[in-house]
Structure 1
Amino acid sequence: MEMQRGTRRTYPAGVTSWIDVEHPDLAAAREFYSGLFGWTFQKVGGEGSQYVVAQLDGRDVAGLAERADAAGPGSGGWNTYVAVDDVNRTAARVTAAGGRVVLPPTTAGDGGRLALCEDPGGVPFRLWEARNRLGAQLTNAPGTWNFSDLHSADPAGAADFYTAVFGWQVTDTGFGAMIRRPGYGDHLAATVDPHIHQRQAAIEAPPGFADAIGWLTAAADDEQPAWHVTFTVTDRDDVVAKVERLGGTVVSTEDTDWTRAAVVRDPQGAAFTASQFTPPAN
């Protein structure tokens, strides 16, 4: 979905709104992702800040940060943020529901306020109370964020936790457990994506898909449970070739009725999925 020029995208409370990745070598990360997705970068923060906002077509799409201890497949990789109206109150709900607040609510410059949390299974996620930085301003276009999916060791327990904290609904579609924030599709239709309901009806998307913010799945036996980030791409095979040329690693590829996808790692170990949308012909 590409929104109209000049429109700032907003995120209701309980909707995933931003992603970033932490690496020990920010310059190398910038080189990889600019080569892969065509991103440009804008430094944010004051003197000494090692955080840049990646942009595509002049719009914010993700963040990159430098952190000395962030290398390797088990480092957490890409982070997913959930929009909240009040980070203090939501952090209290995280604790009450059995999660943990790792970094208490703190101010992140003039962009907003954040907290770092873990769900009861130890999966990290972040809260974002937006001020000047509202969240990703271009999504679902080639080279931008598509979804963040929760790969959990305890999907039923995770569903209970996130429902208590954010009011999510987890719906079994028959081919996966869809995470929905009720009312989100109507928000999109009223703001940046007026034709979302008609477009999804035309491709026979599952009921309630306009409210979808991700998928919940059981983590594989050899997989670290995490919020896993997916990027939209035009051609999966072209991206796979670029990943390898830029020093990354292809972990696996998969073709389904709806997508051609590849799980890859960047040169510093952060995993993500590149997904080409290939809906069934009607």
Structure 2
Amino acid sequence: MSNLHGKLNYVEMAACNLEATKDFFTAAFDWQFVDYGPDYTAFANVGLDGGFYRAELASRAEQGGALLVFFSDNLEHTLAAVEGAGGMIVKPIFEFPGGRRFHFREPSGNEFAVWAE
């Protein structure tokens, strides 16, 4: 039995504009992508492997979508990188028990968060 049994291993998300989404994550977080045809792109070695498929949908927490959360050693620096890459801040930095975080949308409209201790 593998040590992956029962663990989250891969995530797939919709993206209406794959190129803009890839450009954003490359600029903001230094991700690399592998394309599998014109409608799917995959990423790996970023904490959780996954991919984006072309669709006119987006995942948002207020609509019940899963919220994927990044960790940052420097929240302000990461916020600046997200904005500089074209991300839209939807919840500015706020405190919560255990740290601080902000939420953003990437160019295809998917919502993510970044937290720091």
The bucket for the TM-score relative to the shorter chain is 0.7 to 0.9
- How far off is 1:10 after superposition? 4.2
User: Taking structure 2 as the reference length, what is the TM-score of the superposition?
Assistant: 0.79
The corresponding residue for 1:51 is 40
Superimposed CA distance per residue, residues 40-87 of structure 1 (whole angstroms, 9 cap, x where no aligned partner): 11234xxx4522221348x863312222x22xxxx335xxxxxxxxxx
Alignment of 1:97-112 (within 5 A): none
| Deviation of the 1:240 alpha carbon | 1.1
- Counterpart Cα distance in 2 of 1:226 and 1:60: 17
CA RMSD of aligned residues (A): 2.5
Secondary structure of the structure 2 residue equivalent to 1:226: coil
For 1:10-29, list aligned pairs within 5 A.
10-13=3-6, 15-29=7-21
Give the 3 Å change call, closer, same or farther, for CA 10–50 of structure 1 in structure 2: farther
| 2:34 counterpart (34, 39, 42) | 42
TM value normalised by structure 1: 0.36
Give the superposition deviation at 1:257. 4.5
Aligned mates of 2:48, 2:98 — CA distance in 1: 27
Classify 1:22/1:51 alpha carbon distance in 2 versus 1 (closer, same or farther; 3 Å).
same
Picking from 76, 89, 101, the partner of 1:261 is: 101
Unaligned runs of 5+ residues in structure 1 are 1-8, 78-150, 152-222
SS in structure 1 of the partner of residue 13 of structure 2: strand
Residues 60 and 256 of structure 1: is their aligned pair in 2 closer, same or farther, counting only changes over 3 Å?
A: closer
Overall identity of the aligned pairs, in %: 20
Equivalent residue in structure 2 for 1:241, among 80, 83, 91: 80
Letter aligned with residue 261 of structure 1: R
**Which structure carries more relative contact order (alpha carbon 8 Å, separation 6+)?**
2
The structure whose Rg is larger is 1
Structure 2 unpaired stretches of 5+: none
For 1:271, the equivalent position in structure 2 comes to 111
